[in-house]
Structure 1
């Protein structure tokens, strides 16, 4: 599933491919990815206009236009952006094609279609983002600590709850907790001040590295690099990694590096 670093990579694709260029054509090949807007209305709002700028909040990408509209993209489980030539054959899962300038086409590609595209004015943007917590890349330590202190559930559940903190997903949460030495099954509200500070620090470090890589990288020195091994062991201490489900997601941790209740 795309997480904050993946969406940052898609923002770079969008920026390089389409920002500042006139949208010559919008081709909706599958209206099932459109939310609250018809294919005709999307074409009317975007064709002959330019994308003027991009923002990201959590897992949302916001593309501003010269017409006062914002194209909002959420990538769900399998969404991505691809830049190609307009003459190149479309892939089966290319749902919406934006032909920009003379020689570029931005493609929203999504196999499972769990989220998609919205077109909104400023009030609509605010409404769609109303239940999102602060962005994980931008949140300061005080706001981060306050958000966790107010939670009663497990630490892992709090981190992947987009209303608490926007942008973290399953891989990032496990990686950050492993680095911080905190058990994912622990209670968010039970953390000490030192725990919360360490968790915020490790979150920022993990996000910086992941954004640079354009994903949560499966490096040998990272938990992410071993969670899917046939015989997974901690890259730090060699202990056999434990696996369970929290908030409906597969959760991996090291019982030695992340002490606490089993």
Structure 2
């Protein structure tokens, strides 16, 4: 599933491919990815408009035009790429935006779990993003700690709840909790002040290189680099990793170095 680093990568694609250029043609090949707008409405709203800016909030991507704003969400399998208009369309290319003779922005999505929305003005943008918490990349520590302290759920479930904190998904949450030495099932409102600070610090330390890579990188020194191996072991303490389910998601963690809430001598 695309998470914050992936969507930031898609923002870079959008920016390099389309920003400053006029949308010459919108081709909707599958209306199943459109939400609250029809193919004709989308064409009429965007064709002839210049892409003036790009923004990301959590897993949402915004393309500004100085008028209507296009919002994109990538669900489980969505992605954004820049192609040549003459390149054959792939089966899962759902909407094509031609922005130059040699540039075409393509929204590609196999499972179509999310898609595209059109905001006619800023109030529409605010309405569409109203359920989102603060962005995980830009949230300050005080806001982060307050958000966690106000929820009683298990820590991982709270971290991936987009209404609490926007942008974190399964891989990032597991990686951050492993780095912070906290178990995924720890009650979010039971963290001590040092644990909350450590969690925030490790989130920042994880997001920076992940954003640079455009993904959660499967490095040997990261939990992500070991979670899918046949016999996964912790790259830090070499304990066998465990798999459980938290918040309905497969969760990988280390029983050797991720402290339980009842542990004494917290690390």
Q: TM-score, normalised by structure 1?
A: 0.98
In the TM superposition, 1:149-188 aligns within 5 A as: 149-188=149-188
Q: Deviations over 1:90-145 (max 9, x none)?
A: 00000000000221000000000000000002111101111100000010000000
Question: 2-side partners of 1:232 and 1:259: how far apart?
Answer: 19
Aligned match of 1:139: 139
Q: 1:261 to 1:195 in 2, by over 3 A?
A: closer
Question: 2-side partners of 1:231 and 1:119: how far apart?
Answer: 46
Aligned match of 2:57: 57
Question: 2-side partners of 1:65 and 1:165: how far apart?
Answer: 27
Cα offset for 1:259?
2.0
Whether 1:102 aligns to 2:101 is: yes
Q: Deviations over 1:154-177 (max 9, x none)?
A: 000010000000000000000000
Aligned match of 1:196: 196
RMSD of equivalent CA atoms: 0.9
Aligned match of 2:75: 76
Aligned match of 2:87: 88
Whether 1:20 aligns to 2:20 is: yes
Question: 2-side partners of 1:64 and 1:119: how far apart?
Answer: 10
Aligned match of 1:205: 205
Question: 1-side partners of 2:257 and 2:224: how far apart?
Answer: 15
Q: Deviations over 1:162-207 (max 9, x none)?
A: 0000000000000000000000011000000000000000000100
Q: Unaligned 5+ residue runs, structure 2?
A: 263-267
Cα offset for 1:261?
6.1
Aligned match of 2:45: 45
Whether 1:29 aligns to 2:42 is: no
Question: 1-side partners of 2:92 and 2:134: how far apart?
Answer: 32
Cα offset for 1:260?
1.0
Question: 1-side partners of 2:23 and 2:144: how far apart?
Answer: 39
Whether 1:122 aligns to 2:105 is: no
Cα offset for 1:48?
1.1
Question: 2-side partners of 1:234 and 1:118: how far apart?
Answer: 41
Give 3-state SS (helix, strand or coil) of 1:51's partner.
Answer: coil
Question: 2-side partners of 1:246 and 1:15: how far apart?
Answer: 36
Q: Unaligned 5+ residue runs, structure 1?
A: none
Question: 2-side partners of 1:137 and 1:61: how far apart?
Answer: 14
Give 3-state SS (helix, strand or coil) of 2:21's partner.
Answer: coil
